Amino acid sequence: MFTQIAQMAGPDMPRDSFDREINYLRISLTDHCNLRCVYCMPLRGLTFVPGDEVLTAAEIEQVVRAAAKVGFNKIRLTGGEPLLRKDAVEIVDRLHQIKGITDVGMTTNAILLPGLAKPLYDAGLRRINIHVDTLDPVRLKRVMRFGTFEQIWTGIEAAEAAGFAPIKLNSVVVRDYNEEDVVALARLAMDRDWHVRFIELMPLGGGECARLSLSQYVPNPETKKRIETELGPLEEIPPTSPSDESRNFRFKDGSPVAGVVGFISPVSDPYCGNCNRMRLTADGKFHLCLLNDDEVDLKPALRNGGGERAITDLLARAIAQKPTGHRLDEGVSTQRRAMFQIGG
């Protein structure tokens, strides 16, 4: 069924109906988070997936083994906050050992990294993206709400000490919250060989967070201009892969290190035409596009003994149904899930 539904790029790489190679699986380990960022999670009215509905470590491994056999080679673990899973290190270890998986990464807010960075590295994690929206402690409390700058910075230092390189920092830019702080964040890439990336707001899930994303949106060309005005011109780095969601730059003058400033611009400069991603939610659904509601439910096959063939058939269906792109310009976005319920 796989070859009937999803065309193959040679013997090992699945392609969707728009001839895009799909080889990257982003897996949400949980929809819980220890922060409440203003654009992601409201303070009240939250509902979470019941514990028995969340995929187990063994089920996640089963999905990834099947995905690897049809050509997936890149995995990223997300949340919510993935390190709230008590078995996060075990999951990394399981996935790292799967034949064909060459890249296991994670996105985290770093609060729990002081105790987990070294175990994660030892388990096989090699790439880590850390979410921090500002270096200003007061404004960080306003935008990220439950965390402190000291906690996150200590986690960043723990990741660097454990051997993760390059450190990648992700900042979501929100007007009237942290748009002026992009300069201080970008300056880190002048002093260290870190990657600092700025992400545009996306209106996911309806509700108050989606409304804020529409009203407080800052386009990345504005962010880039602010950085260059303060710190000097940026020179674009040629992409190494057409599916890279970040347009990357280095400072043209005055930086002795190889730090990178990146811009992820799903609204002002969509990269849908080269998307190589499939998403697996914590409750076991393939989410076909970050900004659409379409999903394929995997869990019944997992829990009713369907085995590897059932998983690959459902993955094939998901790849075949993957849409060509989002419709934000038409005012259409996902309504049933917010960002913390998808995993980014």
Poorest-pLDDT segment among 105-114, 119-128, 139-148, 282-291 = 282-291
Find tokens 């590295």 and name the residue.
121
CA angle, corner 236, sides to 245 and 162, nearest 5? 60
**Contact status, residue 44 vs residue 207, Cβ threshold 8 Å:** no
Distance of alpha carbon 82 from alpha carbon 71, whole angstroms: 25
Residue 217 scores a pLDDT above 90: yes
Highest mean pLDDT among 211-220, 261-270, 332-341: 261-270
**pLDDT (0 to 100) of residue 255:** 67
User: Considering all CA atoms of the chain, what is the largest pairwise distance in Å, rounded to the nearest integer?
Assistant: 60
Residue 94 DSSP one-character state = H
Could you tell me the pLDDT band of residue 9, with boundaries at 50, 70 and 90?
Answer: very low
Residue 208 scores a pLDDT above 70: yes
Distance of alpha carbon 171 from alpha carbon 199, whole angstroms: 6
Could you tell me the pLDDT band of residue 42, with boundaries at 50, 70 and 90?
Answer: confident
Distance of alpha carbon 22 from alpha carbon 320, whole angstroms: 10
* Mean pLDDT for the chain overall: 90
Could you tell me the pLDDT band of residue 254, with boundaries at 50, 70 and 90?
Answer: low
- Between 65 and 326, whose confidence is greater? 65
**pLDDT (0 to 100) of residue 284:** 96
Domains and CATH numbers, the chain: 2-341 (3.20.20.70)
Poorest-pLDDT segment among 92-96, 173-177, 280-284, 332-336 = 332-336
